[in-house]
């Protein structure tokens, strides 16, 4: 009652009320948006400007190649912006699983992230072409595409999802693994309950092989296999090893069904606040950090294969690659039209 009387009672009371409401609202919005513009930490960069600290998410452990890449990216951004931007890397999924990290990027509560392209393709269609099975002929073909015009166009296509694609990182080749039996031909996959990333293409891929797909976040897969909810999953050597999935699913098949890469993303809300020089610095830093990431990648791929063999796991080569390619053809029949423009360019 009293408050109402006050407001009605005079111009000054009313103004004060609105002013304090406005100040309160601004404080709430700023607190909620935490990482939005990054936080100014009060210290000054070499150029005398305030240092802005940004948050970058990665779901892999600290020494995993993507995190090694993220840290190199952070180092280069700091160097190229004379210390104006400082990036703190939150590894190990501290900021959430990939799907939630992408959503947080979209609203600007996380500034940067390294994620896999598969979950990104649920937010922006075109880049999904990179998840299609047996897309590249070899490593050189893959990197020509990713680091060339097509890769760049696909990164740019992400702006429809309020995401800014900066560079690709290596994720090798994905392979199936399970706890039940060795798999060397598509028919061996029949009936296996296989976890996939949260992506339609991977759901259909597993179905085309006669297995049963379960989309689920990465951090739940170990217990899924251990408790028998899942028979297996699919991933590259470094992930199979570092996630400890190799402990619960000992049969690994080198079928190399997908080379879907990793990608470094910025939120559009961060991007819109950067000036042209800073944008250039972030883009260059991401591209340059790829070198260090790929070196770390090659090393962990070789090391993890050794560790897996030493643990007594069974690694199976496939009998006939043509048979696997043929089995997944329904995906091309279904998505070929949508991705035609890119598929034609990639195959050329
Ligand atoms: C890994 C990738 C992760 C995540 C994971 C998964 O290869 O690096 O970002 O996508 O696969 O299967 O969920």
187 pLDDT more than 90: yes
| Parallel, antiparallel or unpaired: strands 193-196 and 212-215 | parallel
Distance from the CA of 259 to the center of ligand 1, in angstroms? 12
Closest by CA to 98, choosing from 131, 121, 73, 129, is 121
Between these two residues, 185 and 1, which has the higher pLDDT value? 185
Mean pLDDT on 26-33:
39
Q: Does the CB atom of residue 236 touch ligand 1 within 6 A?
A: yes
Q: Give the pLDDT score at 43.
A: 79
- Decide: residue 49, CB within 10 A, 0-12 exposed, 13-18 middle, 19+ buried: middle
Question: Which residue is closest in CA terms to ligand 1's atom 13?
Answer: 218
**DSSP letter string, 72-117:** HHHHHHHHHTTTSEEEEEE-TTTT--HHHHHHHHHHTSS-EEEEEH
> Taking 90 as the threshold, does the pLDDT of residue 121 lie above it?
yes
Residue 119 CA to ligand 1 centre (angstroms): 9
pLDDT band per the 50, 70, 90 thresholds, residue 48:
confident
Count Cβ neighbours within 10 Å for each residue of 122-135 and write b for 16 or more, e otherwise.
bbbebbbbbbbbbb
pLDDT of residue 3 exceeding 50: no
Instruction: Over range 208-235, report the average pLDDT.
Output: 98
Instruction: Report residue 148: phi and psi, to 5°.
Output: -100, -160
244 Cα to the center of ligand 1, angstroms = 13
Ligand 1 pocket check for 197: Cβ under 6 Å: yes
Mean pLDDT of the chain: 90
Query: Which residue is closest in CA terms to ligand 1's atom 4?
Result: 116
Atom of ligand 1 nearest to the CA of 118: 10
**pLDDT value of residue 11:** 32
Counting residues of the chain whose pLDDT is more than 70, the rounded percentage is 89
Per-residue pLDDT for 329 more than 90? yes
Q: Which atom of ligand 1 sits closest to the CA of residue 234?
A: 12
Q: Could you tell me the domains of the chain?
A: 39-123+158-171+260-300 (3.40.190.170), 174-258+318-347 (3.40.190.170)
Q: What average pLDDT score do residues 15-26 get?
A: 41
Among 61, 92, 116, 118, which residue has the most ligand 1 atoms within 8 Å of its CB, making it the best to mutate?
116
- The predicted pLDDT at position 25 comes to 46
What's the pLDDT score for residue 45?
Answer: 81
Please tell me the distance between residue 218's alpha carbon and the centre of ligand 1 in angstroms: 7
pLDDT band at 33 (very low <50, low <70, confident <90, very high): very low
> Which candidate, 297, 62, 273, 73, places its Cα nearest to that of 166?
73
Residue 214's pLDDT is what?
A: 98
Measured from the CB, is residue 58 less than 6 Å from ligand 1?
A: no
Render pLDDT for 243-301 as a digit per residue (tens, 0 to 9).
999 999 999 999 999 999 999 999 999 999 999 999 999 999 999 999 999 999 999 99
């Amino acid at each position: 009652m009293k408050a109402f009387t006050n407001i009605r009672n005079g111009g000054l009371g009313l103004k004060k009320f609105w002013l304090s409401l406005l100040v309160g609202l601004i404080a709430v919005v700023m607190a909620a948006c935490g990482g939005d513009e990054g936080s100014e930490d009060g210290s000054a960069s070499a150029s005398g400007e305030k240092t802005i600290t940004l948050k970058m998410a990665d779901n892999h452990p600290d020494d995993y190649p993507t995190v090694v890449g993220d840290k190199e990216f952070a180092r280069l951004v700091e160097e190229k912006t004379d210390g104006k931007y400082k990036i703190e890397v939150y590894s190990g999924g501290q900021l959430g699983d990939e799907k939630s990290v992408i959503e947080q990027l979209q609203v600007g509560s996380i500034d940067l992230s390294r994620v896999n392209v598969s979950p990104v393709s649920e937010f922006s269609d075109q880049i999904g072409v990179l998840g299609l099975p047996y897309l590249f002929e070899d490593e050189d073909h893959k990197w020509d595409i990713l680091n060339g015009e097509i890769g760049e166009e696909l990164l740019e296509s992400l702006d429809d999802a309020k995401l800014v694609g900066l560079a690709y990182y290596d994720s090798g080749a994905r392979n199936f693994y399970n706890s039940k039996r060795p798999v060397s031909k598509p028919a061996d996959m029949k009936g296996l309950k296989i976890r996939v990333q949260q992506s339609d293409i991977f759901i259909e891929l597993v179905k085309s092989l006669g297995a049963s797909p379960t989309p689920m976040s990465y951090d739940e897969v170990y217990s899924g296999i251990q408790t028998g909810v899942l028979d297996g999953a699919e991933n590259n050597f470094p992930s199979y090893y570092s996630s400890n999935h190799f402990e619960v699913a000992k049969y690994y098949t080198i079928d190399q069904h997908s080379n879907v890469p990793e990608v470094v993303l910025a939120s559009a809300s961060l991007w819109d606040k950067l000036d042209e020089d800073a944008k250039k610095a972030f883009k260059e830093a991401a591209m340059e950090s790829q070198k260090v990431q790929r070196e770390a990648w090659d090393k962990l791929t070789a090391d993890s294969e050794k560790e897996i063999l030493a643990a007594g796991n069974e690694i199976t080569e496939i009998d006939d690659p043509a048979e696997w390619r043929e089995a997944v053809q329904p995906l091309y029949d279904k998505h070929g039209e949508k991705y035609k423009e890119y598929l034609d360019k990639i195959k050329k």
